[in-house]
Amino acid sequence: MKSVFFTFLLLALAANLHAEPLTKTQQQQALRLFSALGCRACHDFENSGSNIAGSLDRIGLKLSKEQILQRLQLPPEEVGQGEKFMPSYQTTPADQLELLSRFLASRK
């Protein structure tokens, strides 16, 4: 069982290492989206924002792109339960959530 977990961990790390970096244009788009969605209302980011929720400056060290995307896509009935208290992004286009997830995952 340990070898299966170890193999999974290595594959996850390798996938993260080979992720294509965002272009400057994509980074700018992600920052605009970050602002438009009001993320700083709850999160600190680059010494600006709130401390209601955790800082997103180094979120890529804790969560992968897939984990961030999964949290952003949480169904409305699950939003606000447990440790997660985020607005619903069900009306945000999937490609924008993907871009934001990639951007945040790159923050290490």
- Write out 43-101 in H/E/C secondary structure: CEECCEECCCCCCCCCHHHCCCHHHHHHHHCCCHHHCCCCCCCCCCCCCCCHHHHHHHH
Per-domain residue ranges of the chain: 25-105
Give the pLDDT score at 74.
79
Rg (CA), the chain: 15
Q: Directed axis angle between helix 65-72 and helix 94-105, to 10°? A: 140
Amino acid at 26: Q
Give the pLDDT score at 7.
47
Considering only the top CATH level, what class is 25-105? Answer: mainly alpha
pLDDT tens profile 26-82: 999 999 999 999 999 999 999 999 998 889 999 999 999 999 999 898 775 665 555
